A and B are shown apart, each in its own frame.
Chain A
Amino acid sequence: MIELTNVGMSYSGRSLFHDVSLSLPQGSFHFVTGPSGSGKTTLMKLCNLELMPTDGRIALFGTEAASLSRDDVSAMRRRIGLVHQDCRFIDHLSLAENVLLPLTVTGQAADQSNLAELLGWVGLTHVADRFPPQLSGGERQRAALARAVISSPDLILADEPTGNVDWEMSVKLLDLLIELNRLGKTILCATHDMTLIRQAKSRISSRVLRIANGEIALAGAEL
């Protein structure tokens, strides 16, 4: 699903990581962890084609990222559900309209029963008509997750999805991600919350990638 081969990334001459090779098969669940500034968000952006690597190559769904046009990138992103730490909503649209955005931009008619079901799944039915600034942190994160899955993407990229919520809400969000993985979705979740990772590993088969000192490695038993 995602193949990174000898990928390097530098900002203003400073190397963030180098020679990273990584393969995420379909239906897998991977966590990415590491200290702040290690490059977790950069890795997520590379996978979402928001950034292009300074070295190496990235293949997404079997296609070389470097060969993609802007329209191709849009088409790729429709196969990716993205959950940002800061959620990134359009404030003048209601929660329901924000959740439907991936369908809106492709001109697909919104199936109201699907929307209702999805909002029920993330527990946001009662706030569907509210606007993003009126939502709590947990509601925003769940709405971001609902938006990420509305178009039934193949891959979910979640960047610190529990960063702004309490433990109870973190577990709820993890439950949703696990449920999506069980439905066959590939999940890549960046988090610094080791407790959450341990909680997930006790329930599903997942792998943990640790970024440190410019390298990515599979974390072992120390977790």
Chain B
Amino acid sequence: MATTEPVGLRASASSGSGQPRTGSPWLSNTPHPCFPPSERPTALKESGLHPLCATEGPVLRELDGLPAFHVWRDALGLPDTVTAEETASWALGVEHNSHGSDWTVLAPYNCDSELDAITFAVDVPEEAHR
């Protein structure tokens, strides 16, 4: 049977293993970014990942310590002048528990180029806050 799993999907992400998920289903051999605070600096340094930063309700202000809209544009390879409408086929997948088993896919409702923030129609899941 052909697999439907995306590139980089961890085998442990499949159900039925009986083992707790210890990493992202998207990146092979990458520690999960949700570490206890006392371990976070070392673990993040080893994994190359950075904590999700400032959110205020539905407004995402920072990713990786950088302005969220800047990171969004850079990740998608879009010009500085892009508008929310022009990103209609793109979305953000937000993991909202430490096991990587629950996700919310959010489409930006508005992108503020002055504040470099992204606004969604609903609040960013609480568990994603750091």
Whether A associates with B in a native complex is: no
Q: Contact residues of B with A, CB < 8 Å?
A: none
Q: Contact residues of A with B, CB < 8 Å?
A: none
